[in-house]
A and B are shown apart, each in its own frame.
Chain A
Amino acid sequence: MRLRAIPAGAWIGLAGIAAVAICAIFAPLIAPYTDRQIVGGVWEPASARFLLGTDNLGRDLLSRMIYGARVTLAVALAATILSFGLGILLGFAAAVSGGLIDAVLSRGNDLMMSIPTLIFALVALAILPKNLFVLVLVMAVLDSTRVFRIGRAVALDVAVMDFVEAARLRGEGPLWIIFREILPNTLSPLLSEFGLRFAFAILFLSTLSFLGLGIQPPAADWGGMVKDNKDGIIFGISAALVPGAAIAALVICVNLVVDWLLRRTSSLKGGRGDG
């Protein structure tokens, strides 16, 4: 692939994601203070000492943003990878094996999807203990229903193609067919789906944290920081908007990249380029 063929929007998206990733990886080196250290007064305005001001407890907002990038990015990525692995595996298995396995998996999936994701998550989080592992698991399982559908549909599409038939006649096993024949040929649509799911995971995690059900304090994550600082809004203090804007910017960046991947997928298929 030529680098010049990548449109400007996608470059902006990639740059944005890279910037957040660098903040996340090198957080202790970049951040001026640690995320839990109380260094000033409550809700101090932006100054040379605190570039973004301080939060509701007098912690440096910029430092918390940088450490928050770490938590938000890591948890969203973990949930996305888990949900993707689960959804693709079950979706491909359903498509390849067909029959009863397909019917049971598909109907179970329909049942899961008939409850709105947020409501399902609220019910699940009310029952399960509050910890990071449970949070990632709930996010991943709920989101894997979408991936399952895509994975199954895409695999069904490819499974009837001649080269898969040829592999079958050659006597290859189902694992070979899934990983060597189907997966490489479905990579492009699946990649853009991964981006979409990642964007959704960031928003979902932030929403749960904002509602007080996601990452628990004192750990910093962007959604939780909005919750921490929301009472300042009434006094005209915009500290809550900074992490909110960061979430929005990150998701826009991911969506810009996805948009480009989707366009690329449809132009690979040929045809009228839309539809």
Chain B
Amino acid sequence: MPSQTAGVRRGDRHPLARLVVRRLALSIALLFAVSILIFGGLEAMPGDFATTYLGQSATPAAVANLRAQLGLDQPAATRYLDWMAGALRGDFGTSWASRGPVSEQIGQRLSNSLFLAGVAAAISVPLAILLGVVSVRFRDRAPDRIINLASLAAISLPEFFVGYLLILFFAIRLNLATFPATVHEGMGLLERLRVVALPVTGLVFVVLAHMMRMTRAALISVMSSPYVETAELKGLSALRIILRHAAPNAVAPIVNVIALNLAYLVVGVVVIEVVFVYPGMGQYMVDAVTVRDMPVVQACGLIFAAIYIFLNMLADIIAIVANPRLRHPR
């Protein structure tokens, strides 16, 4: 990148800050592009949509009526700017189905979803790294093979299958957990944790395998580099090689893996919430899609995409900070 080398030549003392700011700007640009995509999708078929919403047998008058009622007869650019200006202030308009403000509904549900994903992350991240290290330490031996096989099986299971298995055994047969996982305001933290135990187990199960496999791959790619071979030939113990030689260089890829999987987790909540009837964003969005409640769909889509883009940006920035080689792109 020419501007980068020019900056260094000018005696730029903050190449790192520069890169981070550039990545930030990129994310914001991306978010705007995504918002246009989410909003523009509806515009691509304006006449069709009212028909789709009402069904094939709707009269032209009813279609025109609906379009006026929903504001679809306004120019697209005007409505996009209105929508975007509202979204930046946290106002996502009015739901077509419930006729209430979307933001009010989303606020509580978003924090419910983040709580669920947060608890799952707190459990799965340390566990995944531990399993990854164990698997590399005993590479191609029994523990590695078992972990590998189990994780291959785990990524093949659909989320809803895992969820219903858990419900059948732990909530119905053994009566250890509660189903459905209903939470409401004013619930104590402990009570809340008890209720989400089952959905969290399901989520952990689903992301753990992905996270662990990626951790293992990141560690192995470091382990097959020549300096690790040198350390091996020097006669160092395997654990020492992993901790002192491989780990510092593997931190960046592993942190990257974790951030990517947190992004995956945020999306993974959708199915788990539906299975456990948990009042979160995912369930709200699925319900809205079923009845074609577009303001809600667009708001949820934008928020999910924003969280996803933010976590991906975080992964990149951590990688830039942790790996000096990425600071000087050729």
Given A275-B221, A275-B224, A259 contacting B152 (CB threshold 8 A):
yes
CB atoms of A114 and B161 under 8 A apart: no
CB of A211 closer than 8 Å to a CB of B: yes
Cα distance A129–B47 in the bound complex, in angstroms:
13
Give residues 21-50 of A contacting B (CB, 8 Å).
Answer: none
Which residues of B have CB within 8 Å of A110?
Answer: 30
CB atoms of A199 and B297 under 8 A apart: no
Selecting from B12-20, B167-175, B194-202, B248-256, the interface stretch reads B167-175
Q: B280: shortest Cβ distance to chain A, in Å?
A: 14
CB atoms of B161 and A123 under 8 A apart: no
CB atoms of B164 and A114 under 8 A apart: no
Number of interface residues of B (CB under 8 A): 55
Which residues of A have CB within 8 Å of B80?
Answer: none
CB of B274 closer than 8 Å to a CB of A: yes
Which residues of B have CB within 8 Å of A256?
Answer: 152
CB of A73 closer than 8 Å to a CB of B: no
CB atoms of B312 and A114 under 8 A apart: yes
Give residues 24-67 of B contacting A (CB, 8 Å).
Answer: 30, 33-34, 37-38, 41-42, 44-45, 48-49, 52
CB atoms of B160 and A210 under 8 A apart: yes
Give residues 79-138 of A contacting B (CB, 8 Å).
Answer: 110-111, 114-120, 122-129
Given A244-B161, A275-B220, A126 contacting B152 (CB threshold 8 A):
no
Which residues of A have CB within 8 Å of B242?
Answer: none
CB atoms of A241 and B168 under 8 A apart: yes
Given A122-B301, A123-B297, A207 contacting B224 (CB threshold 8 A):
no
Given A207-B271, A236-B173, A116 contacting B308 (CB threshold 8 A):
yes
CB atoms of A111 and B37 under 8 A apart: yes
CB atoms of B267 and A244 under 8 A apart: no
Cα distance A209–B55 in the bound complex, in angstroms:
21
Q: Who on chain B is nearest to A202 by CB?
A: B158
Across the interface, B298 reaches (CB within 8 A) one of A123, A234, A238, A247, namely A123
Selecting from B108-116, B121-129, B231-239, B285-293, the interface stretch reads B285-293
CB of A233 closer than 8 Å to a CB of B: yes
CB of B68 closer than 8 Å to a CB of A: no
Which residues of A have CB within 8 Å of B38?
Answer: 115, 123
Q: B206: shortest Cβ distance to chain A, in Å?
A: 11
Cα distance A226–B160 in the bound complex, in angstroms:
8
Cα distance A125–B30 in the bound complex, in angstroms:
22
Chain B positions 156 through 190: 1 when the CB is less than 8 Å from some CB of chain A, otherwise 0: 11111100110110001100000100000000000
CB atoms of B168 and A236 under 8 A apart: yes
Cα distance A143–B309 in the bound complex, in angstroms:
18
Given A123-B38, A272-B224, A247 contacting B161 (CB threshold 8 A):
yes
Task: Classify the interface of chain B: helix, strand, loop or mixed.
Answer: helix
Q: A248: shortest Cβ distance to chain B, in Å?
A: 5
CB atoms of B294 and A244 under 8 A apart: no
Which residues of A have CB within 8 Å of B297?
Answer: 122-123, 126
Which residues of A have CB within 8 Å of B267?
Answer: 116-119
CB of A192 closer than 8 Å to a CB of B: no
CB of A206 closer than 8 Å to a CB of B: yes
CB of A153 closer than 8 Å to a CB of B: no
Q: A240: shortest Cβ distance to chain B, in Å?
A: 6
CB atoms of A240 and B164 under 8 A apart: yes
CB atoms of A111 and B34 under 8 A apart: yes
CB atoms of B305 and A114 under 8 A apart: yes
CB of A178 closer than 8 Å to a CB of B: no
Which residues of A have CB within 8 Å of B224?
Answer: 272, 274-275
CB atoms of A213 and B168 under 8 A apart: no
CB of B270 closer than 8 Å to a CB of A: yes
Give residues 180-196 of A contacting B (CB, 8 Å).
Answer: none
Q: B224: shortest Cβ distance to chain A, in Å?
A: 5
Which residues of B have CB within 8 Å of A245?
Answer: 161
Which residues of A have CB within 8 Å of B168?
Answer: 233, 236, 238, 241
CB atoms of B37 and A255 under 8 A apart: no
Which residues of A have CB within 8 Å of B319?
Answer: none
CB of A264 closer than 8 Å to a CB of B: no
Across the interface, B308 reaches (CB within 8 A) one of A115, A211, A255, namely A115
Give me the interface of A with B, judged by CB distance under 8 Å.
Answer: 110-111, 114-120, 122-129, 199, 203, 206-207, 210-213, 223, 226, 230, 233-234, 236, 238, 240-241, 244-245, 247-248, 251-252, 254-256, 259, 272, 274-275
Give me the interface of B with A, judged by CB distance under 8 Å.
Answer: 30, 33-34, 37-38, 41-42, 44-45, 48-49, 52, 152-153, 155-161, 164-165, 167-168, 172-173, 179, 220-221, 224, 263-264, 266-267, 270-271, 274-275, 285-286, 288-290, 292, 294, 297-298, 300-301, 304-305, 308-309, 312
**21 A-B pairs, CB-CB below 8 angstroms?**
A114-B308, A114-B312, A116-B308, A119-B285, A119-B301, A119-B308, A122-B300, A122-B301, A124-B41, A126-B294, A127-B45, A129-B52, A203-B158, A207-B158, A210-B160, A223-B160, A238-B168, A241-B168, A251-B156, A274-B224, A275-B220
Given contacts A115-B301, A211-B289, 20 further A-B contacts (CB under 8 A): A114-B312, A118-B270, A123-B41, A125-B289, A126-B288, A127-B42, A127-B49, A127-B294, A128-B52, A211-B286, A226-B161, A226-B164, A230-B164, A233-B164, A233-B167, A236-B168, A241-B165, A241-B168, A248-B157, A252-B152
